[in-house]
Structure 1
Amino acid sequence: MPETASPRLFPLFADLRGRAVLVVGGGAVAARKVEALAGTGARIRVGAPALEPALAAAAARGELEHLPGRFVPSWLDGTWLAIAATDDAAVNRAVAEAGEARGVWVNVVDDAALARVQLPARVERGPLQIAISSGGGAPMLARLVRERLETQFDESFGALAGLLARHRRTIVARWPDTAARRRAFERLLAGPLQGLLRRRRHIEAERMLERELAPAGDAAPARGSVALVGAGPGDAGLLTLRALRLLGEADVILHDRLVSSEVLQLARRDAERIEVGKQAGRHAVPQEAINALLVEHAAAGRRVVRLKGGDPFVFGRGGEELEALRAAGIDYEVVPGITAAAACAAYAGIPLTHRDHAQSVRLVTAHAKEGPDTLDWAALAQERQTLAFYMGVARLEVVQAQLIAHGRPPETPFALVENGTRADQRVVQGRLTDLSHLARHHAVQSPALLIVGEVAALAGALHWFGAPPLGASDVPLANAA
């Protein structure tokens, strides 16, 4: 092995209950090490001429013993583990050498060559711990890995570990064969148990596990669940962590047409994908059929993700789908997504509210069911508010005419954001009186969000994503002043 290579360390979790652990140093670094030792049951001793405030307070409460003064080898007597955490290299070396002579494990902070034991970067979820080490050669890499794991393992893993630990004897008795136990665990962890824990429904999770542990003849048939997940407007980087986890666990994904391929690529590779998207003038799958598919797959014991563009509860018919699931007795959860108004406006450089221009925002769907127009145009035409119209490409002339007819000034700024947050995003900017003309000239297509209000004028100055907005100067207008 080259001398520069880090050693291959043997990973080990130590039971420190009742054992003496010495921390040499009284500053902030030593305080962090003492904090890491808290809860282990160790008898903590801190040796230093003086202690920083948090350590001094802990000593006053009797949570640790303070050994005042500079390090002397006798501090190691009866010690099982020592940590040298001073800013004095000579003192740290003295601790390491004294520990080597006494057969005491010593960790030296930021000095892998002197240390005989290293303290790994850790991810803690209750009784579940994940330790990461680079062998001391690249501590920043270990921290980076820890940060990534922190996002993948939420608090439900701690609750799950505690739940399984409480039932360990019953689990072993139920499946005494190791291979059968492993298969049972894979089936159990693939089901809705962890989803219940994520939603803090601990009693239901306990009962579910107890049903699984019942004798085979008493076990209830497996039943799946549905998660309504907001996919955002297209940029996969805008997915929430919970959405990403659920996509990795799904057996079946029912997705809208507007869900981007980048988002779908993050899903579990072998998940069944079913497009149920709707667009103006072409309803590929009626809503009633979508509801039936959700119930059918969940009732068959599958984990279903209903993946919706934007947010499930903002013009996403999420409420209708939950009503169908509840009526069928299907377990469900909802994961919000970034709705198009927030995301498209942000990527176009348009603040939806602004102290100088708009004190309120209205989210409006320009696509209504068959029947008369029920929008309150007089209220929508009021100034000093921002209007965000969803699904409005086919009705731009109506929106323009109604707003002007009800008193919104014709020179009111607007912005049309097509394919917002995606690589092919386009923004068309102008005056309300030119809205339909500009949209036709630039052949704006769905999906596009219409923003009306004084804040829309800021798109030209504040744009940061993609090309600058297209505007009136890009085309001769039929009704330009």
Structure 2
Amino acid sequence: MAGSTLAAMTLYPMFANLNGRRVLVVGGGSVAERKIAALRKTGARIEVGAPRVTPRIARWVAAAEVSHRCGEFEDTWLQGVWLVVAATGNRSVNQRIASASGQRQLLVNVVDDAGLSTFQVPAVVDRHPLTIAISTSGAAPMLARLVRERIESLFDLSLGPLASLAERYRERIRRRFPDSRKRRRFLEHLFRGKVAEQMRCNQALLAERTLKRSLRDTNLQRKRGSVVLVGAGPGDPGLLTLNALRAINEADVVLHDGLVSAEVLELVRRDATLVEVGKRGGGAHTPQEDIHALMREHVLAGHRVVRLKGGDPFVFGRGGEELEFLREHRIDYEVVPGISAAIACAAYAGIPLTHRDHAQAVAFATAQCRTPGADPDWSSLARQNQTLAIYMGVSGIARTQHLLIAHGRDPNTPVALIENGSRPEQRVICGMLCELSRLAAAHSLQSPSLLIVGEVAGLANRLHWYGQAPLTGAPASSADRRAA
């Protein structure tokens, strides 16, 4: 069968039970090793036929996990075999294996040769016992692997233990709900509700107790929702964690800060309700009490709420205050940390926060204080040989400059202002502490911006890699540009 014909066909998806059954892998190289590694998980009786095998295969043979037929392929090797994999790298040998297998009505996979194969090995997302297989019918195996990478990010590792829990209670669930419609409703509640949430929090025993209570409960309607506190990072959607992506894809309601980028919001489930609860410095501002009230309102309506915050919710994100509120009102919650702006923006500007030659410590501070006059310890922040990262400092930048110098920081200390860090419009402005406020004004610095103070800031000119090169000094005037 021609490869193009096979690719045009619709293959029948099938999960084969190979436990205790003989499977032959012909070939002893690295490709055969990968095939055997996958087959070992199935409980199959694996035989490898080849004159030589890799050291890893040899170890499996020595441990009696795989048997070895030493030599060139012979038709007699196929006696009593259920499945065949040809991984010799020699097309003429592979053709002979495929032909001999076909005569015996055996399914055969010839690696990288769809035309000779009667079954395809899919790309697999493994959440045992949940398995997700992706196939392009042999047309583009690399595309299948790329799709698998995308799917990997969407399915939490807790799905495997959740599936195992459901398997253990399958008969009890069937006896409790003989009506198939009620059973489907219960299982949907199981896989989307509190049991699944507790599994994600690594609370397997609690999840099992919750399942038992649910089996006794006559009212299966979800009475209350829950909240997931999610860090969205500084803007680049590629910096979202897998757990963050999973949470925003499962959310019914997303309460997001104004600093969460449009690109991140594009990843939210299409039918979810988006509510901006502005936290942009100097701009629109939603009182914290109103945010608390919104979370509680949607939870009482049975919604799964994601509180989406820029950066990390526990680094100047008021995440602690929100958890205290949720705990006080007995609302179930999870926390998904994000990559903090200081770490991400510095990295995207080519600035290491610590360096053996320049900075042995790093301090994070915010220019926004809840109580007027509740300033940080400026003498501590002004220490030499440490990096200082200041969040939300645009409006008070002149005061920050004055206080650092007044408390002993060298006026010639390098500084870097990072505007829209990690986003396509990122700007990095470099200079010295003594010219900080002038640089910010000359370049019309806007929020969100981060200030880095310390010798490491001077490395941005040499180590930058993302976006435009750092700016230095005041921008040229229109008259200067005309003269040039």
Q: TM-score, normalised by structure 2?
A: 0.91
Of 442-451 and 124-133, the range deviating more from structure 2: 442-451
Corresponding residue number in structure 1 for 2:385: 384
SS at structure 1 position matched to 2:73: coil
Corresponding residue number in structure 2 for 1:159: 161
How far apart are 1:283 and its partner, in Å?
7.1
**Residue 254 in structure 1 maps to residue 255 in structure 2:** yes
Residue 4 of structure 1 aligns with an amino acid whose one-letter code is S
State how far apart, in whole Å, the 1-side matches of 2:162 and 2:85 are.
32
Residue 144 of structure 2 aligns with an amino acid whose one-letter code is A
Corresponding residue number in structure 2 for 1:458: 459
Corresponding residue number in structure 2 for 1:447: 448
How far apart are 1:451 and its partner, in Å?
1.2
Corresponding residue number in structure 2 for 1:331: 332
How far apart are 1:429 and its partner, in Å?
2.4
**Residue 206 in structure 1 maps to residue 215 in structure 2:** no
How far apart are 1:94 and its partner, in Å?
2.1
**Residue 289 in structure 1 maps to residue 300 in structure 2:** no
How far apart are 1:347 and its partner, in Å?
2.3
Report the CA distance shift for 1:267/1:220 in structure 2 as closer, same or farther (over 3 A). Answer: closer
How far apart are 1:334 and its partner, in Å?
1.1
Report the CA distance shift for 1:87/1:265 in structure 2 as closer, same or farther (over 3 A). Answer: closer
How far apart are 1:198 and its partner, in Å?
1.9
State how far apart, in whole Å, the 2-side matches of 1:282 and 1:449 are.
17
State how far apart, in whole Å, the 2-side matches of 1:467 and 1:335 are.
31
Residue 271 of structure 2 aligns with an amino acid whose one-letter code is D
How far apart are 1:475 and its partner, in Å?
6.3
SS at structure 1 position matched to 2:364: strand
* Cα distance per residue 1:184-221 (max 9 Å; x no partner): 4334433233232122111122222223333525x585
SS at structure 2 position matched to 1:45: strand
Residue 391 of structure 1 aligns with an amino acid whose one-letter code is M
**Residue 435 in structure 1 maps to residue 436 in structure 2:** yes
Corresponding residue number in structure 1 for 2:38: 36
Contact 1:96 1:108 (8 Å CA) reproduced: yes
Report the CA distance shift for 1:67/1:362 in structure 2 as closer, same or farther (over 3 A). Answer: same
Structure 1 residues not aligned, in runs of 5+: 477-481
Contact 1:31 1:54 (8 Å CA) reproduced: yes
How far apart are 1:31 and its partner, in Å?
2.1
> What does residue range 393-412 of structure 1 map to in structure 2 within 5 Å?
393-412=394-413
Of 244-253 and 58-67, the range deviating more from structure 2: 58-67
**Residue 278 in structure 1 maps to residue 279 in structure 2:** yes
State how far apart, in whole Å, the 1-side matches of 2:70 and 2:278 are.
71
SS at structure 1 position matched to 2:83: strand
* Cα distance per residue 1:234-286 (max 9 Å; x no partner): 22222112111111111111111211222222112222222222344667332
SS at structure 2 position matched to 1:79: coil
Corresponding residue number in structure 2 for 1:102: 104
Report the CA distance shift for 1:449/1:178 in structure 2 as closer, same or farther (over 3 A). Answer: same
State how far apart, in whole Å, the 2-side matches of 1:223 and 1:364 are.
37
* Cα distance per residue 1:99-150 (max 9 Å; x no partner): 2222222222222222222222222211111222222232222222222222
Report the CA distance shift for 1:202/1:116 in structure 2 as closer, same or farther (over 3 A). Answer: same
* Cα distance per residue 1:294-318 (max 9 Å; x no partner): 2332243221111111110101111
How far apart are 1:464 and its partner, in Å?
3.2
Contact 1:211 1:220 (8 Å CA) reproduced: no
Contact 1:252 1:302 (8 Å CA) reproduced: yes
State how far apart, in whole Å, the 1-side matches of 2:474 and 2:440 are.
14
Corresponding residue number in structure 2 for 1:4: 4
SS at structure 1 position matched to 2:467: coil
**Residue 25 in structure 1 maps to residue 38 in structure 2:** no
SS at structure 2 position matched to 1:244: helix
Residue 154 of structure 1 aligns with an amino acid whose one-letter code is D
State how far apart, in whole Å, the 2-side matches of 1:374 and 1:3 are.
71
Report the CA distance shift for 1:59/1:287 in structure 2 as closer, same or farther (over 3 A). Answer: same
Report the CA distance shift for 1:423/1:185 in structure 2 as closer, same or farther (over 3 A). Answer: same
> What does residue range 352-363 of structure 1 map to in structure 2 within 5 Å?
352-363=353-364
Contact 2:232 2:308 (8 Å CA) reproduced: yes
SS at structure 1 position matched to 2:400: helix
State how far apart, in whole Å, the 2-side matches of 1:430 and 1:408 are.
15
Contact 2:26 2:88 (8 Å CA) reproduced: yes
State how far apart, in whole Å, the 2-side matches of 1:124 and 1:165 are.
17
**Residue 227 in structure 1 maps to residue 225 in structure 2:** no
> What does residue range 115-264 of structure 1 map to in structure 2 within 5 Å?
115-216=117-218, 222-264=223-265
How far apart are 1:373 and its partner, in Å?
4.3
Residue 83 of structure 1 aligns with an amino acid whose one-letter code is V
Report the CA distance shift for 1:475/1:12 in structure 2 as closer, same or farther (over 3 A). Answer: closer
State how far apart, in whole Å, the 2-side matches of 1:131 and 1:221 are.
32
Contact 1:299 1:330 (8 Å CA) reproduced: no
How far apart are 1:2 and its partner, in Å?
8.8
Structure 2 residues not aligned, in runs of 5+: 478-484
State how far apart, in whole Å, the 2-side matches of 1:127 and 1:428 are.
52
State how far apart, in whole Å, the 2-side matches of 1:259 and 1:470 are.
25
* Cα distance per residue 1:306-349 (max 9 Å; x no partner): 11111101011111111121222222111111111112222223
State how far apart, in whole Å, the 1-side matches of 2:59 and 2:2 are.
46
Contact 1:441 1:475 (8 Å CA) reproduced: no
Corresponding residue number in structure 2 for 1:311: 312
State how far apart, in whole Å, the 1-side matches of 2:339 and 2:434 are.
30
State how far apart, in whole Å, the 1-side matches of 2:24 and 2:11 are.
22
Of 149-158 and 285-294, the range deviating more from structure 2: 285-294
Corresponding residue number in structure 2 for 1:479: none
State how far apart, in whole Å, the 1-side matches of 2:13 and 2:221 are.
41
State how far apart, in whole Å, the 2-side matches of 1:327 and 1:220 are.
24
Report the CA distance shift for 1:426/1:46 in structure 2 as closer, same or farther (over 3 A). Answer: closer
SS at structure 1 position matched to 2:333: strand
Contact 1:235 1:263 (8 Å CA) reproduced: yes
SS at structure 1 position matched to 2:153: helix
Q: TM-score, normalised by structure 1?
A: 0.92
Contact 2:367 2:396 (8 Å CA) reproduced: yes
State how far apart, in whole Å, the 1-side matches of 2:404 and 2:325 are.
37
Residue 216 of structure 1 aligns with an amino acid whose one-letter code is T
Corresponding residue number in structure 2 for 1:84: 86
Report the CA distance shift for 1:370/1:130 in structure 2 as closer, same or farther (over 3 A). Answer: closer
State how far apart, in whole Å, the 2-side matches of 1:78 and 1:322 are.
61
Contact 1:174 1:215 (8 Å CA) reproduced: no
Contact 2:443 2:474 (8 Å CA) reproduced: no
Contact 2:156 2:246 (8 Å CA) reproduced: no
